[in-house]
Structure 1
Amino acid sequence: MSTPLVALPAALHADGPDPAYADQLALFGQFIGSWRIDNRLRDRDGEWSTYPGRWDFGWTLGGLAIQDVLDCPTAPNRYPGTTIRCYNPTANAWHAVWLDPHSGLYVTLKASTDGAEIALDGTTNKGSEVHWKFFDIADTSFRWQGYLANEGGSFELAQEMTAHRI
């Protein structure tokens, strides 16, 4: 016997940013929509491979959060992952959590700006430090890079993407 479908709660989707914080929400709000990406990944041997994919961003949780889904179906052992970025008006800060339910990996991050770049620094659930950044941001394109801390404490580039608005 199947369970009947239930309508999703209205809070799951928002039509736009919370108007009281529209300026602050523009930091990640500029990515709302769908993007075609080239996802370049470095394997354990240091070899690079590029996979096409799609990155979709949308408003949620009353317009104080943005959720995205990143999907590169041809990448080996890569399944869609999701990030939820929440703006905290009290702290005037962005916090994010990236989740990969297939591998069990998740990352908690805090965002900051450095000129025209958006930096996200955090830690994986396995204790590794990460540094992510959005840069070369324009209306129809942007670049993203992901760095992992090595045993010496410095960061090494592990992934980079170019995105073009669909």
Structure 2
Amino acid sequence: MVRISYLSGLLTVLLLGPHAAMAEHWASEAIPFNKSAGCMEGPLAEFGQYIGNWKIDDEELQDDGVTWAAGAGARWDFVCLGNGTAIQDFWMPNDGGVGTNLRTYNKESESWDIAWSVTGMSGFAHIQARQEEDGNIVMMYKSPLPNPPRRITFFAAEENSWKWKLEMSFDDGENWTEVYRIKATRI
């Protein structure tokens, strides 16, 4: 009985040992998804500044066009993929549903190509973003085009917080009305 147990243990070590070592290797430096330095330099730093986990306090403009009401809040986590290949975020509202953005920097157009999907949405929305001279990042929907038109602005991050706003245009882009805003605080 002892001999069988010993042989079984030896066989397990012999069979799994290389795989365990390989798994440990893959879980560390071999997989490029555990590094974020590439998202913190050059143009990728534009969205790289938001990498981390954030508690979201939100407000929505009420129908009277003047009053703001607190929302349910959310959590928003940003991660670097492939040490600078892309930045992905995970939007998790406290009142249900989830969403994700996959953001890649397009060197030719010097802008961001973003794919957005959220619970209940068919397919992806294509969004394009560009950092402006003041450091804010403005995002515009490209397809499908929402009605009314929308734009989103990420304001430059501070060490432990940042702000964001959603605006809609009710006159085909002539004027914009802020309808939703958030304040993110690092968790």
Fold match (TM-score > 0.5)? yes
1:51 aligns with 2:72: yes
1:27 paired residue number? 46
SS of residue in 1 equivalent to 2:71: strand
SS at match of 1:103: coil
- Sequence identity (%): 24
TM-score (structure 1 length as normaliser): 0.76
CA contact (8 A) 2:54 2:75 kept: yes
**Greater share of residues in helix:** 2
Structure with higher strand content = 1
| 1:4 aligned partner | none
- The CA RMSD over aligned residues, in Å, is 2.9
Q: CA deviation at 1:141?
A: 0.4
Task: Output the CA distance in 2 between the equivalents of 1:22 and 1:148.
Answer: 32
Distance 2:172 2:137 in 1: 25
- 1:41-91 alpha-carbon deviations (Å, 9 max, x no partner): 3466756342221110001145221010111122xxx51111111112343
Q: Structure 2 counterpart of 1:137, which letter?
A: A
Are the structure 2 counterparts of residues 50 and 57 from structure 1 closer, same or farther at C-alpha, using a change threshold of 3 Å?
same
Task: Please state if 1:100 is matched with 2:133.
Answer: no
Map of 2:109 onto structure 1 = 91
Determine the structure 1 residue equivalent to 2:86. 65
Give the 3 Å change call, closer, same or farther, for CA 122–17 of structure 1 in structure 2: farther
In the alignment, the residues of structure 1 paired with residue 98 and residue 119 of structure 2 have an alpha-carbon distance, to the nearest angstrom, of 9
Distance 1:79 1:114, change over 3 A: farther
- Higher mean C-alpha deviation, range 32-41 or range 60-69: 60-69
Q: TM-score, normalised by structure 2?
A: 0.68
Mark the structure with the bigger radius of gyration: 2
Amino acid across the alignment from 2:116: W
Aligned residues: 154
- Per mean C-alpha deviation after superposition, the further-off stretch among 90-99 and 138-147 is 90-99
Tell me the distance in 2 between the aligned counterparts of 1:127 and 1:94. 19
5 Å-filtered alignment, 1:10-21, equals 13-18=33-38
Stretches of structure 2 lacking an aligned partner (at least 5 in a row) = 1-30
Moved more, 43-52 or 117-126: 43-52
Q: Take 1:69 and 1:138, find their aligned partners in 2: how far apart are those partners?
A: 20
Indicate the residue corresponding to 2:165 in structure 1. Answer: 145
